[in-house]
Every structure is written in C-alpha cells, then in structure tokens.
Amino acid sequence: MTIERIVLAFAGFMIMLTVALAHFHHLYWLWFTAFIGLNLLQSAFTGFCPLALILKKMGKKPGHAF
C-alpha cells in the first residue's frame, strides 16, 4: 500500500469517526472534521502532508504525489 492510499484511508476513517462523535457526543467534533478537510485541501496544492512525512520515515513506499 502506497503512502497516498494510506493517507486517503486514514483521512476517510478520521472524517467518519469525527462525524460519528459529533452525532453521539458533541457537535464540537465537527471542527476536527473541518481541520482534516482543510489539511487535505492544502496538501493537494502544496504537496505537504504531515502524515505522509511520518509514513515516509517509517519506510512506506511513496507513490506519485508524495
């Protein structure tokens, strides 16, 4: 699995988790969902993704984007 696929899977999981937490716990969790979305948006334009850097240091195989 490449870094790109791991980043997308992790972002999707975190979005679903925070939406569920907002539904069952408190609406303030939606701020974290917005943070994830903004991070995905900025990484699409800049190529900088903190999770991708961590995965690269862990030895995961990079793809085309990272």
Q: Mind listing the pLDDT tens digit for each residue in 8-56?
A: 999 999 999 999 999 999 999 999 999 999 999 999 899 899 999 999 9
Q: Which runs of E-coded beta strand occur in 18-58?
A: none
What does residue 24 show for φ and ψ, rounded to 5 degrees?
A: -95, -20
CB 14 within 8 A of CB 30: no
| Residue owning tokens 């999981």 | 13
Question: Does the predicted model carry a pTM greater than 0.95?
Answer: no
